[in-house]
C-alpha cells in the first residue's frame, strides 16, 4: 500500500472507523515488530512492545500530522518504546547482579558457598555470566542460547569454555 492510500486509512481511523485500524495494523505490523526486535533481541518482549506501540498510536493519533509519513512515525514510536524497555530491563539486571550481595539466595545454601559463587560470577563479563548461568542453572542448550542471543553457536561454545577457564583459574585463588 502506498503512502497516499495509507494516509486515507489513517484519516478514516481518526474519524473513528474501527475497520481502518485493521488495515493500518496489517500495513505496519512488520515494521513495528522488526523495529522492536532489532532493539530488544527478544521475540516475546518485541511482541509486548508491539502492543504498546499500537496503544500509544491510538492514544496520540490526533498528534500525527500527515506530512511526517505514518510508517516513519509509528517506527519512531516503536523504537522509543523498545529503547525504554531495553534500558529498564538492563537497569533491573544490573541491580540484581551488581547491587545484590548474593546472586543466588535460597534457604538451603551455605552462606560461604554463596559468597564464593557470587565472587566467581562477578569475574565474568555480562555475556559470559549469561551464557554460563543459562546453561548451568537454567539447563538451556548452547544452541538455544545462541538463537536467543543472536550469536553463532561456535561463539557461544567458545565463550562458555573461556568462562569456565576463567572460573577455574580464579576459583583456586578465592
Q: What is the pLDDT along the chain (174 residues), one digit of tens a residue?
A: 787 888 899 999 999 888 999 999 999 999 999 999 988 888 889 999 999 999 999 999 988 888 878 998 999 999 999 999 988 887 776 654 444 444 444 444 455 655 666 666 778 888 888 888 778 767 778 988 888 888 899 999 999 999 888 888 876 554
How far apart CA 142 and CA 160 sit, in angstroms, is 9
Among 3.40.47.10, 1.10.10.10, 1.20.120.420, 3.30.70.980, what is the CATH number of 102-171?
A: 1.10.10.10
Q: One fold for both 3-93 and 102-171?
A: no
Grid-cell match 512492545, residue found: 49
How far apart CA 86 and CA 89 sit, in angstroms, is 5
C-beta separation of 142 from 157 below 8 A: yes
pLDDT for position 163: 87
Q: List the chain domain ranges.
A: 3-93, 102-171
How far apart CA 30 and CA 72 sit, in angstroms, is 13
Note the CATH number of domain 3-93: 1.10.1740.10
pTM higher than 0.75: no
Interior angle at CA 37, CA 31 and CA 38, nearest 5: 85
Amino acid at each position: 500500500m502506498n503512502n497516499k492510500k495509507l494516509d486515507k486509512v489513517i484519516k478514516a481511523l481518526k474519524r473513528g472507523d474501527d475497520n481502518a485500524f485493521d488495515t493500518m495494523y496489517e500495513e505496519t505490523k512488520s515494521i513495528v515488530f522488526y523495529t522492536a526486535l532489532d532493539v530488544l533481541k527478544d521475540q516475546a518482549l518485541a511482541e509486548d512492545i508491539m502492543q504498546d506501540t499500537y496503544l500509544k498510536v491510538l492514544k496520540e493519533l490526533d498528534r500525527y500530522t500527515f506530512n511526517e509519513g505514518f510508517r516513519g512515525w509509528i517506527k519512531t514510536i516503536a523504537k522509543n518504546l523498545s529503547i525504554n524497555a531495553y534500558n529498564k530491563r538492563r537497569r533491573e539486571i544490573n541491580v540484581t547482579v551488581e547491587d545484590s550481595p548474593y546472586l543466588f539466595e535460597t534457604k538451603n545454601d551455605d552462606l560461604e558457598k554463596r559468597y564464593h559463587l557470587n565472587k566467581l560470577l562477578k569475574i565474568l563479563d555480562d555475556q559470559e555470566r549469561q551464557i554460563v548461568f543459562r546453561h548451568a542453572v537454567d539447563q538451556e542448550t548452547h544452541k538455544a542460547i545462541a538463537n536467543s542471543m543472536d550469536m553463532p553457536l561456535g561463539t557461544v561454545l567458545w565463550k562458555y569454555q573461556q568462562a569456565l577457564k576463567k572460573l577455574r583459574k580464579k576459583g583456586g585463588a578465592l
